[in-house]
Structures are given as C-alpha cells and as structure tokens.
Chain A
C-alpha cells in the first residue's frame, strides 16, 4: 500500500517538476494575439459576459444610469427599462413590475432578488406589501432579465428577473453623507462608508426616510357603494390615499479573500394603508414590518485546473404587523349583517423565514465548453400567524375584537415548504462567432411536487458590431401560501391541489453598436402562459376558490436606441409593445400595450448635467366583466440636474418630476363579477408634480 502511494507521489512530483520546467516563455514576450488565447488561472466571478453576448435579453442599470434618471426609488429606475412598466396595486400601492404584460393581482410572476437571493414572500409570492425593496442609495447595479429564467433561478423567474446588486466597499471608496428634501414632506438621509481594513473590505450603509405621501384624492371607494346600497354614510371618500411612511435600512458588506458576508435590515413603520386594504379609505390605521437578510458566499476560483466552486448560504426573515388592526371598512359600515360602530377591524399579522443553500460547480477544462452543475435546498416557513378581528366569517359584527390566533378562524394556517433543486448547464462556443447555451433545472417542492424547466440559447457575433440571439426559455411560478391554504375567507379560498403556473417564451434579439455614436437593440418575443392561478367563482355561492384556470398568449417587440448627438448631448429612447390575449380571446387587462421612454442628457459645462425624460404609457384594457372604457394612458415629463462642487466633494442633484402635473392613474382591482362596479371606479391616482433636492458630501 505504502509502496503504491510512494510510487504515485513520485510520479506526481515528476509531473509537477516537468510542468514547471522553464519551457514557459516569459509572459511579457507574448503578442496580443497570444495573450487573447492564454487561459488564466483566476476566473473572476461577477465579471459576467457583456450584455450583447449574454444568452438572454438583459438590461443593466448602473450607478450612473440611476443618477441620470434622478431615480428616488427602484420603481423610478425600472420605469425606463424597455418592456417593463411599474404599476401600483391597490394593496398599499405596492409596486407591480409588469414585464411584457404578465401579472396577476400581487405580481408574483416577476422575481426580485437582492444580490442573487430571492426576496419573495411566502404569503402572496410578491415582495412584502408593507416593505420597500431597498433604498436606491444602496444600489450599485440593477440587472433586469426579461423572459423566463427558471432553468437557472428556479421558481418565479417567470415574466422576468430583477436582481439588485448593492454597493461594495470598493464602489463606495470612502465616506459619504447625504440629505434630501422633497414634496409631500419627504425627507431622507443616508450614510455610506467603504474601506479596507487589513485584508477585510468593509462597507456600511444606512438610510432613513420619511414621507407623508402624495395624498391624491380617491373620489369613490368600496364603502361609497355600500353606503349607496344600505343607506349608511360611513365612507371617507372623497379622501386622500394614505401613503405615509418611515423607513430605516442598514446594510453591511464584508469581503475577505474568497469569503463575502452581506447582511441587511429594513424596517418600516407608520405605514399608511394606501386606498385601504379592502379598497375602502382607511386614514387612521398604520402598518409596520421588517425584513432581515443574511448572505454568506464563498468563491473558490481554482479547485483544480478548470474547476470553480461557488457556495452560498442565505437567510431571510420578514414580518408584517398591524398593531391596532386595520379598518377594513370605516366606523358606521354595514355589510348587510349589522353595523360596525368602530369599523370592521382585522389584523392579519405574519412572520416568515426562509433558508437557502446552493452549490454551483463550474468546469471549463473541455475546449470551448463551460459546464455548470448546481444543487440547492431551501426551507420556507410561515412560522407565526396572529390575527384579531371583530367580524364573523359571514361579515356580521362580533361584540368585540376577538383573537383568533391558532384557531381555524385565522386567515392563513402556519405552513412550511421545502424545495430541492438540481441544474445542469453548458455554454459551448462551437464556432468562433457562435455560442450555444443549454440548461435544464429540476425542482422538487414539498407541496406541489416536481417541475422541469429547460432553456436553449444561440448567440451569434455576426460582426464585432452586430449580434443576434435566438432564445427559448421555460419558467414556473410556485403557488403562494395564500393561494394554497387560505381558509375562513368568505371571498377567496385556497386550493391545496394547485399546480405551478407555466410559461414558455421564444425570443429573437438583435443588437448593433456603431462603435461611435449610436447603438440599438430589437427584441421580438412570443410566449404562452398556462395554468395561471385565478380565483374562480364557485357555483351557487358568493365566494371564489384559487384554480389553475387562466391562460394567455402574448407577442411583442422592444426597441431601444442610444445616440450621442455630440460629446455633450446624449439621447436614448426605448419603446415596448405587447399584445396578450387570454384563453377566451379577450385582451389581457391591466398592462399597457404601448410604452415609450425617452431621455436627453446634456453636459453643458464642467460638472453640470441636465436631463429631461418623457415617459408615455398607453391605455390599459379592462377585464371583460368590467363595463368601464379602457383606462386612459398618460405622459409625464421630468427635469433633472446634478452638479459637483468643491473639487467634486459635494454633489448636488434634484429635479421636478411630472412637471405638467399629468393625471396619472393605475388600474385598481376590477369588479368581482359582471354587473358590479369596481371598488374604486376612478382607479388609483398617482403622484402629481413633485420636487426634490439632494446634497451629498464625500471625503
């Protein structure tokens, strides 16, 4: 045995010695052509392929883009992405990222990730409705992939994926302090620090903001209709939407060698209820919530010749609380079963946590191939549900607020979901100008079993300036806990027999870069969505049950162009068109068919930057049961500026948004059945003209 080991050891040393013989030419003697073909040992992660060669339709917004757009929130930034419109739900005006016209009520079909880890809430499959995603001051980059990506990202990478990358120590490089003031009594302050301490690169970011919200008037709400039917006078409408908020976010990022640890904490309180949780104005109730994330990654670039290993452990914890309850309907309301002198009150509090563990092994030892093998496990637990309410399941009043926690009367049972996945992918550069990517991922869920999602991509570098891509991708959306398990809700009931929603998408994309003053892209897509989960009316009763009922087919195009008129003036514009039709042949409601965004940046002198942008959103169709005409479109015009003073240490920026005070509205929930009116017939009014100024000092 020892002899054999010895022989092997000897052979290894001979081989090593031979390999290290000075047959290598000094690297400085190599020509550029030779350098291009050299394989290097350290393969950086995060230096992904350029957008034009990426096997997907991808848009990357950098710090500079975010600054130029004057983005105050992620929503502001994403509105400039072709094929994406940021709408607002009637649930606290939560952002809905509508990609290519695909979305149900809570928008679970768009996957939002923070540094590659999903921020999906188990309850509704959305991002928490009481929390913001992340303040823009912490964002270094936003990567948006349109089209399904379940072959890589798994569940919910359905219509698109939005990955938010936070600022690292290197990107901050010093200390910065900023404060801003804006309309609606909005105030914000943030602090960023990034530095190197020995071998540790450390970033610390803190952001606080508060606002009263725009308080636009809702003319009629759900209670207005009840008042009309039952002769009560309880409604707060016409009245303002409640969008007050106070938020604190902290983020820490430490990187040492191959290890990186990132943690974030976000808390919101004094949060208004928008147009009211039941679409009946509720000016007094406030929500609060928090989210903590923790993410540990390890990158091993040289596991052996050609081998790399990425490991990640991530943790997510989120809460939603309504301390004094929500007034679903105002004092004096009567839903046909008796009057609620204090209002109809409920407090659906919930706590959830998720753990994820993933391993990705890369191998690039085969000529022109890069293989990826991945496995992962996740564990999601809605571990605490607390609820008090003063109404019975038939909406009749109870004498007092009753705690129904841990009883069958609670809105949702505490539930658990585990998932295991395995994926295989190969990037194959089979010709100098061609690369194919093929991948497949298998997911097994404890609640709805298995699903397989493939993808295929062909990228052609036709010339150094012209690229073509032909893409196919499949995706699935995991049913949310609310869709699976809701009980005791007379209006909507869960269904444990639900299957995941499915999508198949085909895309053809071209990009051209003149190398000098203009570049352009064109994407054509066609998709089929099956088994969309909707709440379907139960025969003979008033309620609805979640079912894999709907389907939709969509086709569209996205065009984008950038043009440098002169070194000081840059123009960019994009246009998205989508036409989605449901199984019954009707146009899919809620998303615009046409969306145009254009921006001009002008650097007149020195450090000044002036910008103006126009955002035009076309009309939004209604569901067939809704007798209202389509919701009309709108156009907004913004003016933005920034400059740097005191040897660039002080940055001043700001602007006027919606300068012409256009009446912007997003669709509220449609009527629940034919012949009924929508709860808020005038739709959801959005922010009018607003001002903002920010000063940031760095040293």
Chain B
C-alpha cells in the first residue's frame, strides 16, 4: 500500500517537474529576451549610429533587478549587426544616447521625466507600468496570468521615427 502511494507520488512529481521544466523561465529573463527580440523587428533611422563600429546601446536603470540579468544574458550578443553595450543609468543621466531604454525600476515621477525628455527622439522605450503606453511609452510589457505579453503605442513609435515590423505588431496584444 505504502509502496503504491510512493510510486504514484514519484510519478506525479516526475510528470509535474518535466512539464514545468520544459517551458519555465524567470519573468526577468523573459523580459530580457523580449527586449532583445524587439530590437530585431524595429528599424532605427540611419542617422542614429555615428560610425559602423558604434555599439547598440541598451539602457536600463542601474538599481533595477533586471540590469544584472541583462548583463548576464546580453554578453556577446549582437543586434542590428552591432555588439550590445549595456548602459546602467540613473534618472539624471542622458538617456537620449540609447537605442533602447528599459524604464522599469524608475520611480513614477522619474519615469515620466525620462519619457518626456525622450519624446520625439529615436529611442525605443519599454516599460511595465500599467499606464506606460498611455504615458507615451512605445512598448508595454505586462503579466497576463502566467504569461508575459506586450502592447505597442504606434503613435509614440512614429514620433520617435521607429519603424516597427508588421510581424511584431501582429503579435502585440494591443496596438494603440
């Protein structure tokens, strides 16, 4: 009897762990991967890059938990044929040298200030706050149950002179 129970519980554990092991990543890692993917489906105006040797700048608030994960995951990665340079910035730094600005981890007021400073500049802004798209951010990530999905503010992208591929738009949960 006890043996039977043992066997069944092993099997349950085994099956459970296997199913979960197949597809489970941390939310932070998935967000890092999304960010990398977005950069592949967006065209920046050519005048953004000074020389062919310039890196691709992804900027992130220095104190945010995701900064460390980006550092680990982006090492050696390339985007748009350029090496990724991760810049860990504070609110007071200039964000306009970034191609991608990941703004989660900034306080509400600071985020608004950075967003407004970046208005019209060719920077892909990514955030997670409930209001990020409405505030003028280009891509908003959000938790949908156990999944992470994203929505796009096309007006903001156009103002920033970013061309988003139709494939990316099709996969967005919402395009406003």
Contacts and interface: CB of A to CB of B under 8 A. Distances in A.
A465 to B, nearest CB: 8
B143 A44 contact: yes
A605 interface: no
A47 B130 contact: yes
B23 to A, nearest CB: 5
A233 to B, nearest CB: 59
Given A39-B23, A49-B144, A4 B34 contact: no
B32 A27 contact: yes
A36 B21 contact: no
A7 B6 contact: yes
Contacts of B2: 4
B30 interface: yes
Interface string A646-661: 0010000000000000
B108 A170 contact: yes
A4 B21 contact: no
Contacts of A172: 107-109
A28 B16 contact: no
Interface stretch (A8-16, A130-138, A325-333, A553-561): A8-16
A171 interface: yes
Contacts of A31: 37
Interface stretch (A18-26, A311-319, A336-344, A377-385): A18-26
B37 A171 contact: no
B43 interface: no
A648 B115 CA distance: 13
A38 B150 CA distance: 13
A170 B174 contact: no
Contacts, number: 159
Interface string A169-185: 11111101000000000
Nearest to B128: A47
B145 A43 contact: yes
A415 interface: no
Best-surrounded residue of B2, B135, B154, B174 (most CB of chain A within 10 A): B174
A80 B149 CA distance: 31
Interface residues of B, number: 62
A26 to B, nearest CB: 8
B18 A32 contact: no
A363 B113 CA distance: 39
A513 B173 CA distance: 12
A303 interface: no
A169 B148 CA distance: 25
Interface residues on A, range: 35 or more
A47 B143 CA distance: 6
A322 B150 CA distance: 55
B53 interface: no
Chain B interface SS verdict (over half): helix
Nearest to A170: B107
A40 B25 contact: yes
B161 to A, nearest CB: 15
Contact of B148 (A35, A170, A427, A464): A35
A306 B176 contact: no
A125 B175 CA distance: 43
Contacts of A586: none
B175 A464 contact: yes
Interface string B108-152: 111101001000000000001011001100000011111111010
A629 interface: no
B16 A305 contact: yes
A305 B20 contact: yes
Contact of A28 (B33, B144, B147, B151): B33
A397 B29 CA distance: 77
A426 to B, nearest CB: 12
Contacts of B144: 49
B113 to A, nearest CB: 6
B168 interface: yes
Contact of B24 (A18, A39, A62): A39
Best-surrounded residue of A37, A38, A174, A306 (most CB of chain B within 10 A): A38
Nearest to B36: A28
B73 interface: yes
A42 interface: yes
A43 B143 contact: yes
Contacts of B109: 171-174, 176, 698
Nearest to A698: B109
B155 A516 contact: yes
A194 B9 CA distance: 48
Contacts of B176: 513, 515-516
A26 B9 CA distance: 30
Nearest to B15: A15
Contacts of A28: 32-33, 36, 73-74, 77
Contacts of A497: none
A41 interface: yes
A39 B27 CA distance: 8
Contacts of B113: 648
B148 A38 contact: yes
Interface string B87-107: 000000000000000000011
A172 to B, nearest CB: 7
Given A370-B145, A515-B176, A40 B27 contact: yes
B49 interface: no
B119 to A, nearest CB: 10
A419 interface: no
B174 A40 contact: no
A604 interface: no
Nearest to A21: B21
Given A35-B33, A172-B107, A174-B109, A4 B6 contact: yes
A64 interface: yes
Interface of B: 2, 6, 9-10, 13-14, 16-18, 20-30, 32-34, 36-37, 41, 63, 73-74, 77, 106-111, 113, 116, 128, 130-131, 134-135, 142-149, 151, 154-155, 159, 168, 171-176
12 contacts: A16-B17, A20-B21, A27-B33, A33-B171, A37-B23, A43-B143, A43-B146, A47-B128, A50-B142, A64-B134, A364-B146, A515-B154
Given A11-B13, A24-B21, A40-B146, 12 more contacts: A8-B6, A8-B9, A15-B13, A18-B14, A18-B17, A27-B30, A50-B173, A64-B131, A174-B107, A174-B109, A176-B109, A306-B146
